[in-house]
Amino acid sequence: MAQLWGGRFTKATDQMVFDFNASIRFDSRLFRQDVEGSIAHAAMLARQGILSKEDKDAIINGLQGILKDVESDRLPIDMTQEDVHSFVEAKLIERIGDAGKRLHTGRSRNDQVALDMRLYTRERLLETDRLLKGLLEVLLHTMEENLDTYMPGFTHLQKAQPITLAHHYGAYFEMFRRDRGRLSDIYHRMNYCPLGAGALAGTTYPLDREYTAKLLGFDGATRNSLDSVADRDYLIEFLAALSTIMMHLSRFSEEIILWNSNEYQFVELDDAYSTGSSIMPQKKNPDIAELVRGKTGRVYGALLSLLTTMKGLPLAYNKDMQEDKELSFDAMDTVTDCVALFTGMLRTIRFHKERMARSAMNGFTNATDAADYLVNKGVPFRDAHGIIGRLVLYCIDRDKAIDELSLEELRSICPKFDEDLYEAISLKTCVEKRLTLGGPGKEAMRKVIEEYRAYLSEDHNTRRRLPMREITDGNRKKDRRRSI
């Protein structure tokens, strides 16, 4: 419904303009954050003597009733309102009368919107972090179970050197751990409350912004009112972090897709995470991995969209910033779904360990170890490199692996070879003698796994806001937050 905006306007907004301007279709998901922020604001106003206790109680009880009714589906959100903030305020005034009109004292729609979006983004950030922790738990369990599962390591998609599945999964553990670190950094930068900044220049009312921030679980209040309503850096950072998470998931998905192919046959995907073909009955397609790979571009698009929206905006608030929501919400939903589904797919995957080991034995993945063997026999590395190159050509011509050659054949290439070569270039030796930190050797991996387990047990990326019911007039409840 078109609106008449106070005394400044003499006629209602054109209906098409109203519809184009309205945001309730997508910002209705900020409903709970809007109510929580309003309750904190009312509690602060009463504490400062700006609201009477009676008005404060009526407002808080009214807001809690609206929240309860909406969340229990007894009260549908009115989609004819311009935005969710208008809906909440209109419903509050309808229920409690003039007291509801006093709620907006000392705040603007600008700092209200900024608060709601920051609260919502903070919750989604913590949700993403929890999902990543679950993914890391699955990765770590697989690592612990596969210290002796040999497989080829690749460069340029060509077999390079033998590693283990534990070592390969460890690379992704590092990626997703870095992702959690980025989320933690973002959390600390964004966890300041913009409420009280007003439209752009604060207010003449004696607000206690630090108290409002404490009630809502922030580390403090923002320090510049212009920046408070104009800032979307935290959202851009979050979308950048989500894009990086999706990039990691996409790389992993690509490998799962390859490993699942007939040519590799390294893995068997669970039926619950695969689909068939409408025409080819033999097919079992890795659709979840493919969709995760495909949806990565969708998340990138949200980041680029918001960067483009913000790049030319003067201070302070501009209506362009309403465009921060739709694609951002979609990106958050997409990443949440992708991490959850990918975790389930990894949890149920089966590995063809013998096939992986056979693949590691082919392709001359032990060639570097054969060169190191000659170095240990006194041959300069560059000479050893050339000798093994000729040896590989000899093997290719005869369709043999290095360890399938007789000692006589080996010595025809280089007299330094002896019987101990066969043990030196076995898969077990090639892997387990690589004991430098970060390598695939069993003892090195065990130390890293121990570190990973300690990291996950710390649960250091957890923080909670004070629940709304703990906001009471003049009573500072103890902040139960834990550091992220």
CB within 8 A of 29, min separation 6: which ones?
120, 329
User: For residue 14, what pLDDT is reported?
Assistant: 76
Q: Where residue 275 falls among pLDDT bands split at 50, 70, 90?
A: confident
Return the pLDDT at 12.
Answer: 73
Could you give the residue ranges of the DSSP H alpha helices within 22-52?
A: 24-27, 31-47
Maximum pairwise Cα distance, the chain: 102
> Over 50: is that where the pLDDT of 397 sits?
yes
CATH superfamily for domain 367-425 = Fumarase/aspartase (C-terminal domain) (1.10.40.30)
CA–CA gap between residue 270 and residue 256 (Å, rounded): 12
Q: What are phi and psi of 228, to 5 degrees?
A: -60, -40
Check: CB of residue 42 under 8 Å from CB of residue 60.
yes
Q: For residues 63-85, give the mean pLDDT.
A: 96
Q: Using the 8-state DSSP alphabet, how is residue 38 labeled? A: H
pLDDT (tens digit per residue) in 345-388:
999 999 999 999 999 988 888 999 999 999 999 999 999 999 99
Cα dihedral sign, 448-450-451-457: positive
- Enumerate the active-site residues: 156, 277
Q: How far apart are CA 285 and CA 273, in angstroms?
A: 9
Amino acid identity at 474 = G
pLDDT above 80: residue 217: yes
Q: Which residues pair with 164 in a beta bridge?
A: 150
pLDDT-derived band of residue 477, with 50, 70 and 90 as boundaries? very low
The domain locations on the chain are 13-101, 109-205+222-358, 367-425
pLDDT band at 7 (very low <50, low <70, confident <90, very high): low
Q: Is pLDDT of 276 > 80?
A: no
pLDDT digits (tens, 9 = 90+) for 327-338: 999 999 999 999
Quick: pLDDT tens for 26-42: 999 999 999 999 999 99
Average pLDDT value for residue range 242-248: 98
Average pLDDT of span 179-195: 98
- The residues that bridge with 153 in the sheet, in sequence order, are 161
**How confident is residue 10, by pLDDT bands cut at 50, 70 and 90?**
low
- Whether the full predicted model's pTM is greater than 0.85, yes or no, is yes
% of the chain residues with pLDDT over 90: 84
- State how far the Cα of 382 lies from the Cα of 102, in Å rounded to an integer: 82
Is there a contact between 427 and 162 (Cβ–Cβ < 8 Å)?
Answer: yes
The top-level CATH class assigned to 109-205+222-358 is mainly alpha
Least confident among 66-75, 283-292, 306-315, 455-464:
455-464
Please tell me the predicted confidence (pLDDT) of residue 475.
Answer: 40
Mean pLDDT across the chain, nearest whole number?
A: 91
pLDDT reading at 472 higher than 90 = no
Contact 316, 110 (CB under 8 A): yes
Q: Average pLDDT, stretch 432-439?
A: 92
What is the rounded CA–CA span in Å between residue 214 and residue 41?
11
pLDDT for residue 200 is more than 60: yes
CATH superfamily, with its number, for domain 13-101:
Fumarase/aspartase (N-terminal domain) (1.10.275.10)
**Local structure of 438: helix, strand or coil:** coil
pLDDT of 465 > 80? The answer is no
- How confident is residue 9, by pLDDT bands cut at 50, 70 and 90? low
Q: Which long-range contacts (CB under 8 A, 24 or more apart) does 283-286 make?
A: 286/256, 286/257, 286/260
pLDDT, mean of residues 205-229: 98
